[in-house]
Amino acid sequence: MAATIQNRFRDHGQPAQEVRDAPQRVPTAKDFYSTIVDTPGRTIADVLRSIATNYRDGTPNGIGMDPESALIWSPGHFTWMDTNHPAGTPREGYPIEIQVLWIRLLLQLERIDTKADGAPWGALANRAEGSLQKYFWLEDRGYFADLLIAERDKPASAARVDDALRSNCLLVVGLGLVAGARARRCVEAALRYLVVPGALRSLAPLPVWPPLPIYGSDGRLLNDPTEPYFGHYEGDEDTRRKPAYHNGTAWTWTFPTFCEALARAWDFAPEAVATARAYLGGMERLMNEGCPGQIPEILDGDAPHRQRGCDAQAWGVTEALRVWRLLRSFRR
């Protein structure tokens, strides 16, 4: 159970623990992680240290650090893109957003972990950040790869690069781990292929390598493995909606990260902030349609981008509010 956060509570038995990015998102809540408070026997610093220690040393459910690269290996279906039966996005190996959140956790521990004097965490962060830049950046594409595909115990250096353009790569920019030309090229790629009004496609409508075949329960191929983009979230759940869920369907909760990344890539210049605010303002339309005053979970990746899924999702609302407040702080 160490270093995981329950993501689903059942009526009977043990709660599900198979989401590896949830605990890493704890330190991104600024006011929360910078405040040391008493909990039953542990402080917030103790909890963060426990998460990092267990990820570094390995958890019972398979999460662990590659000692060579200092990157985190994850079993399949452990990220927010966890669709299974059929396996739409297995992502076994080294997912990009997990590395970003891992590095941010290490950097925060370097600042607040007085017991370790910060040094071990900072050294790990530097190694992991160097590995992220080395293995994930696709110079010919102008964005960061979504995943290093690898079986358990295979180092990142021996992994296959998944060149799919997904919304996850924007966290590298949005959380400040890359700047300059790479940051701007990554944002421009997202603007060209991922952005729809008020949401961000989970996969660009581009060919991918290696192929991503999705098979139904009867063994039938459900997609084009080299062009797995789905433009509409509709139809039968297991043969149409699940394959589309993270393969082209546009999500609202990731869109504010694009707006943040846009402003940050141009160093929060007034013009960049104004542009980011204009994009973020596109979410207002969603609040006036469907469930009034709320932001839906997902939209079709293809026009006219109909609202789908949950009518009111907290992820989209809280992320929109967070980035709106951030951009508002730069108003002059």
Q: What is the full DSSP assignment across 133-174?
A: HHHHEETTTTEE-SEEE--TT--GGGSEEE----GGGHHHHH
pLDDT in tens, 210-251: 999 999 999 999 999 999 999 999 999 999 999 999 999 999
Asked if 239 and 216 count as a contact pair (C-beta separation under 8 A), the reply is yes
Asked if 308 and 297 count as a contact pair (C-beta separation under 8 A), the reply is yes
As a whole number of angstroms, the distance between CA 122 and CA 117 comes to 10
As a whole number of angstroms, the distance between CA 206 and CA 227 comes to 6
So what's the pLDDT on residue 46? Answer: 83
Name residues whose C-beta falls within 8 Å of residue 103's C-beta, 6 or more positions apart in sequence. 125, 128, 129, 132, 177
So what's the pLDDT on residue 332? Answer: 61
Q: Where are the domains of the chain?
A: 1-163, 177-332
The token duo for 138 is: 């696709």
Q: Which residue has the tokens 């959380």?
A: 175
pTM across the whole model: 0.88
Task: Spell out where 96-242 has E strands.
Answer: 137-138, 143-144, 147-149, 160-162, 195-196, 199-201
Asked if 21 and 101 count as a contact pair (C-beta separation under 8 A), the reply is yes
Which residue numbers in the chain have pLDDT < 50? 1-2, 8-12, 29-31, 34
Amino acid at 34: S
Q: What is the dihedral of CA 86, 92, 300, 303, to 10 degrees?
A: -120
So what's the pLDDT on residue 19? Answer: 56
So what's the pLDDT on residue 196? Answer: 98
Query: In degrees rounded to 5, what are phi and psi of residue 289?
Result: -120, 170
As a whole number of angstroms, the distance between CA 156 and CA 131 comes to 8
